[in-house]
Chains A and B, each alone.
Chain A
Amino acid sequence: MPSPFSNLLAPSAFPELRERLLRAGMAPRHVRRYLSDLEDHLADLTTEEQTHGLSPAAAHTAALARLGTPDTLAAAALAQPGARSLTARAPWAVFSVTPLALLAAVWLFSLCLLRLGWQIFLPHAVTPFGHGPLHFTDAQNIYFQLNRSLYLGAPILAGWCMLLIAARQRLNALWPLLSLAILAVLAATSQVQANREAIPSGLGHISVDFAIRPAAQNEYALVVFLLALAPYVLWKLQTHRTYSA
């Protein structure tokens, strides 16, 4: 089964240039476009040199020389204003604000689903969290369990997104680890409250509270952190193997 990060190691005719540009902060989509154009140009130059009588190998070497050295090509790309990605320019902002925004979005969606399920399946229940003799049919149970999985998995999903961003940009591991730490703490300290009697109209009220909880929550934070980190570690190992081979 291919790694979800396998496209980050996609073969290129200019692997050194690709890595250099990504590490210098050039946006991955700009790097991809640049390398694609260079590969096309190299193919045209090689064909041209072959029409002048050079062997394929000699034509390829001559074409590379005409294209420019990696230093020249990298300098030309990095000199352009707007070439550097926001991730490279302000990693502290991207890796602190984006995970919060992602987590908030998924949690909000999940809480909306909870509210919807509460209204549809348990219209008379004081809370959707199993107080009282609630008898879920299979469909109801599946609905609420899937939604619970979405809520609990949101920090991990958000963490994977942040790791993917960091891996694409070849960033120092410090930044995605910061994101994972934030997400793990939020996951461990949050608790959803839902009660129909909380407000007089009886419409029901759902909220998320954050508080330091017993030591078990520390273990939960660690589990979230490690689950989110696992794909990144696998990718680093794969990268190491690829470049060691």
Chain B
Amino acid sequence: MPARDTNPNFMNGVPELLILSLLQQAEMYGYELVQTIRDRTGSSIALGEGVVYPVLHNLERDGALTAQRKPINGRSRIYYSLTPTGARRLSDLTTTWTTLTTTIQTLLTETGAPHAQSVL
């Protein structure tokens, strides 16, 4: 089976935003996190599922997340949860992302791009 096509340029920074956003609501382990992203986004964000781990590890190194190993159903899982540093990072990323999308939306509306209202 061929690997799914992904959109790496567009995805820069997005996995981090999604991960922090979801972990703000509840602690999760990697597989659970990816399935939640897939379910919540209706599979519109296509990414190799393994790419979340470098992002998780980097956020953990930066102190934005804490990792805790827990035995669940006979298997050991690493649960990630948001720290105050992570909450601040999420706030910053959300602001940046909102500003960016608003700017692009405004630009598309002003230039009369077709279906501008439904793009973002």
A41 touches B31 (CB 8 A): yes
Find chain B residues with CB under 8 A from A40 CB. Answer: 30-31, 75, 77
Find chain B residues with CB under 8 A from A62 CB. Answer: 1
The distance from the CB of B3 to the nearest CB of chain A, in whole angstroms, is: 5
Find chain A residues with CB under 8 A from B4 CB. Answer: 65-66
A45 touches B6 (CB 8 A): no
Selected contact of B48 from candidates A37, A44, A69, A81, CB within 8 Å:
A69
One of A70-78, A95-103, A142-150, A176-184 contacting the partner: A70-78
Task: Report the contact-size class of chain B (Cβ under 8 Å from the partner).
Answer: 20 to 34
Given A37-B78, A75-B8, A76-B54: A82 in contact with B48 (beta carbons within 8 A): no
Selected contact of A45 from candidates B8, B31, B58, CB within 8 Å:
B31
Dominant secondary structure at the A interface: helix
**Contact flags (1/0) for B34-54 with A, using CB distance below 8 Å?**
100000000000011111011
Q: Which B residues contact A (CB, under 8 angstroms)?
A: 1-4, 6, 8, 30-31, 34, 47-51, 53-58, 61, 75, 77-78
The distance from the CB of A57 to the nearest CB of chain B, in whole angstroms, is: 12
Find chain A residues with CB under 8 A from B31 CB. Answer: 40-41, 44-45
Q: Which of A38, A40, A81 has the largest number of chain B CB atoms within 10 A?
A: A40
Given A67-B48, A72-B48, A73-B48: A79 in contact with B61 (beta carbons within 8 A): no
